[in-house]
Amino acid sequence: MKQTAVDWLFNRLWETPKDKLTWYSIFKEANEMEKKEIQRAYCAGIADSEDYEEGSKINSEKYYNERFKL
């Protein structure tokens, strides 16, 4: 089974000394992993629909930013 970004984050934080800067760096890396997972899912969903476009990678970035970017 593929490891999720949340599983990866938990394992990394569990094994890392309690340093806030290090934890923040790990957190940012996990966020990037989650973003890529969401974008891959978006592209896979678009590829299965009638709305498939060559620019689905660009559209996945737009989708992510509209819904998850703070």
User: Which long-range contacts link 16-25 to residues 24+ away (Cβ below 8 Å)?
Assistant: none
- Mean pLDDT across 5-21: 83
Q: Is the pLDDT of residue 42 over 60?
A: yes
Range of 9's domain? Answer: 5-68
What's the pLDDT at 8? 86
Residues 9 and 27: beta-carbon distance below 8 Å = yes
Q: How many domains does the chain have?
A: 1
The structure's pTM equals 0.60
Q: Which amino acid is at 51?
A: D
CA atoms within 13 A on the CB side of 41: 9
- Mean pLDDT across 16-44: 84
Q: Is the pLDDT of residue 39 over 60?
A: yes
> Rounded to whole angstroms, how far apart are CA atoms 43 and 47?
6
